[in-house]
Amino acid sequence: MNAFFFKYIKKMKKSLIITSCTNRKRKVRINGLSQLGEKLSLADIKTTTHNGLQKYVKNWAKVLTQSLTSTHPKVPAGKLYVGRSITEIEKSCMNLSASCYFISAGLGFIPTERNIPSYDVSFIGKNTDLSKILKHYKTMPSSWWNLLCKDSPYSDNFETVCSSEKWDYIYLCLPNQYLKLIQPNLEKFDSYTKEKIRIFSSEEGIRKSVPENMKNNCFEYDERLNSCEGFSGTRSDFPHRSLAHFSIKIYKEISPKKSTQQLRTDVAKLMSLLEKPTLVGSKENGKRVRKSNEEIKRWIEKNWQDSEGRCSVLLPRYRKTEGFACEQSRFSKLWRQVKEKKDNHENYNFFFPE
């Protein structure tokens, strides 16, 4: 997030965006040296006896408290987290004139301008340290997170922030796993706060993790968004792309003054004009065909010059023109292999994304 964004975000805002943190963390330069390489983790807990989840969370909170006065470098949350989802959130904050908070499995409920340390704590994935702890104590991620919000020195109180009268609207921009974290909290909100909430998530997230009496707060985007130029992407950044689309194509271009239900209707109308991406040739005899790495690399080489070698251009073009799904991490790895080959054997000047 750029310097202009941070000056902007500090101004008094009447809307709030709540979104997910990212596993990717930025390395920044402090005093000329690259920092944040060493992350805080649950392995830093020195106590081996915890006597239940609550005690375990308190022991992790002690590690966080010690980091407040340690030499471990800290940067604003909005600069620490990186990726496509963060880029889209930045756009939405600008367009919606909104402040922003991150839901973090390691730190709690964090405003974007708060200085925080780099850390490695995630409940997504079966083999993460946190997932193993939750399995050991036979508890849900929401129990961990609510305890963490109370004990973490970096966290604000979720209910207090959301219940503030200064917000006209609260935009929940969260994947299904993060909606599950706050599902118990949503059910406790009074009707006044619930009316302010606008929810952007996947179809699965809306179906499984939104309380029944808040379904009408949801903006029902679907995979047709991928056929809208500039808004295609991966499943992990789908909520963030949906909110960015809403902030630009609905809120700014149609009307910011409409009610939530009127805006939901506008989204439905705009979605109806889009077509679901056609997966041409992606299935044979009813079975999905997986392209080999070599086939994808040949396609990247063939389309390299037209895209100026930009991975951010090649991936959505591959999905749209070839009709084959490909995870961003896999495609990026293959793109780097093609780039390395070209660097070693050809004398071109390329433009590369960060």
Question: From the CB of residue 116, how many other CB atoms can be counted at a distance below 10 Å?
Answer: 27
> How far, in Å, are 36, 106, 129, 153, 346 from residue 146 at the CA level?
26, 11, 18, 13, 54
Within a domain: 265: yes
> Considering 238, 272, 306, which residue would you say is the last residue of a domain?
272
Q: What is the pLDDT of residue 31?
A: 57
More confident position, 321 or 28: 321
Within a domain: 80: yes
With both helix axes pointing from N to C terminus, report the angle between 53-69 and 141-151 in degrees, rounded to the nearest 10: 40
More confident position, 221 or 226: 221
Please indicate, yes or no, whether residues 84 and 147 belong to a single structural domain of this protein.
yes
Find the radius of gyration of the CA atoms of the chain. 22
Within a domain: 22: yes
Q: What is the pLDDT of residue 50?
A: 72
Mean pLDDT of 302-311: 83
Please indicate, yes or no, whether residues 136 and 204 belong to a single structural domain of this protein.
yes
The per-residue pLDDT for range 33-79, each reduced to its tens digit, is: 445 557 889 989 887 777 889 999 999 999 999 999 888 888 899 99
The per-residue pLDDT for range 128-180, each reduced to its tens digit, is: 889 999 998 999 999 999 999 999 999 999 999 999 999 999 999 999 999 99
pTM: 0.77
Please indicate, yes or no, whether residues 211 and 337 belong to a single structural domain of this protein.
no
Question: From the CB of residue 168, how many other CB atoms can be counted at a distance below 10 Å?
Answer: 12
Pairing of strands 287-288, 33-34: unpaired
Domain housing 166: 3-272
Return the structure tokens found at 182.
């706050």
The answer to whether the beta carbons of residues 89 and 173 sit under 8 Å apart is yes
Return the structure tokens found at 198.
């606008």
Please indicate, yes or no, whether residues 121 and 240 belong to a single structural domain of this protein.
yes
CA–CA dist 152, 149 (Å, integer): 6
> Considering 219, 249, 272, which residue would you say is the last residue of a domain?
272
Please indicate, yes or no, whether residues 27 and 85 belong to a single structural domain of this protein.
yes
Please indicate, yes or no, whether residues 165 and 297 belong to a single structural domain of this protein.
no
Within a domain: 278: no
Within a domain: 277: no
Please indicate, yes or no, whether residues 297 and 214 belong to a single structural domain of this protein.
no
Please indicate, yes or no, whether residues 13 and 149 belong to a single structural domain of this protein.
yes
The answer to whether the beta carbons of residues 103 and 145 sit under 8 Å apart is yes
Please indicate, yes or no, whether residues 203 and 328 belong to a single structural domain of this protein.
no
> Considering 231, 251, 272, which residue would you say is the last residue of a domain?
272
Q: What is the pLDDT of residue 51?
A: 82
Each residue of 42-68: b (16+ CB within 10 Å) or e? bebeeeeebeebeebbbbbbbbbeebe
Please indicate, yes or no, whether residues 325 and 204 belong to a single structural domain of this protein.
no
How does residue 346 score in pLDDT terms, banded at 50, 70 and 90? very low
How does residue 348 score in pLDDT terms, banded at 50, 70 and 90? very low
Q: What is the SS3 assignment for 110?
A: strand
The answer to whether the beta carbons of residues 291 and 324 sit under 8 Å apart is yes
End-to-end CA distance of the chain, in Å? 13
Highest mean pLDDT among 24-28, 258-262, 308-312: 258-262
Report which of 96, 345, 127 is spatially closest to residue 243, judged by C-alpha positions. 96
Q: What is the pLDDT of residue 185?
A: 93
The per-residue pLDDT for range 75-126, each reduced to its tens digit, is: 899 999 988 899 999 999 999 999 999 999 999 999 999 999 999 998 887 7
How many structural domains does the chain have?
2
Please indicate, yes or no, whether residues 289 and 264 belong to a single structural domain of this protein.
no
Please indicate, yes or no, whether residues 259 and 289 belong to a single structural domain of this protein.
no
The answer to whether the beta carbons of residues 20 and 179 sit under 8 Å apart is no
Within a domain: 90: yes
Q: What is the SS3 assignment for 347?
A: coil
